Structure 1
Amino acid sequence: MVTLTFVSSDGKESRTVKAPIGISLMKLAHFEGIDVEGACGGNLACSTCHMIFSEADFARLPQMGTDEDDLLDLAPNVTATSRLGCQITVSPELDGLTIHLPPAP
């Protein structure tokens, strides 16, 4: 288990959770009742599980694939450190990661 923190879209609330190794950030958010849509169920067919990271945390994430990069073009409020939560699997290297939810469109 690793510890991760989700920060609300307005930055006013945060929630720290224990995450099992191997779960996607999108599924973890759903399991924990955190407001992340994930309309396609993690099939890399939408961009509704968009998440934003600090530059330091972004550098710790696994490399982004071309399909994910293309889908991020469809997400509102994308930043240089945006990723799709369905494409990030919790690993020991991500312990202490902070995940910022994007502002509503």
Structure 2
Amino acid sequence: MGKVTFIEHDQTEHVAEFKAGSSVMQIAVDSAIPGIDGDCGGECACGTCHVIVTNEWFSKTGTPGNEEEQMLSMTPERASTSRLGCQVVLTDEMDGMTVHLPEFQM
């Protein structure tokens, strides 16, 4: 089991446990993390699981695909390390990862 820390816009922290192979979005939804909706169920079609990965962890999240880039391009709070949580599959090496949540989801 690994852990990922979600930090809300108001700096409230939530730590959630994960098993490798789960997505950041699924862990957030299963753990009732406020601010992550995952309306499309992880299909990269809604943008309601936008997270901003801290710099030190961003390279471990992979490269966003074209569909994810299109969804992120519509996100007003996009940052250089933004990802859709449904597209980030957690690995054992991501134990301890921190992500920030935007003030608003799409």
Quote the offset at 1:91 in angstroms: 0.6
Aligned-pair identity (%): 37
Q: Unaligned regions of 5+ residues in structure 2, if any?
A: none
Q: Which AA in structure 2 matches 1:68?
A: E
Q: Does the 8 Å CA contact 2:61/2:89 hold for their aligned counterparts? A: no
Q: Unaligned regions of 5+ residues in structure 1, if any?
A: none
Q: Which residue of 2 aligns with 1:67?
A: 67
Q: How does 1:3-18 map to 2 (within 5 A)?
A: 3-11=3-11, 13-18=12-17
CA distance in 2, matches of 1:52, 1:63: 14
CA distance in 2, matches of 1:79, 1:37: 19
Q: Which residue of 2 aligns with 1:44?
A: 44
Q: Does the 8 Å CA contact 1:48/1:75 hold for their aligned counterparts? A: no
**Do structure 1's residue 23 and structure 2's residue 22 form an aligned pair?**
yes
TM-score, normalization by structure 2: 0.91
Q: Does the 8 Å CA contact 1:3/1:97 hold for their aligned counterparts? A: yes
Pairwise CA RMSD: 1.2
CA distance in 1, matches of 2:69, 2:88: 13
The total of aligned residue pairs comes to 104
Q: Runs of 4 or more off by more than 6 Å in structure 1?
A: none
Q: Does the 8 Å CA contact 1:52/1:82 hold for their aligned counterparts? A: yes
TM-score, normalization by structure 1: 0.92
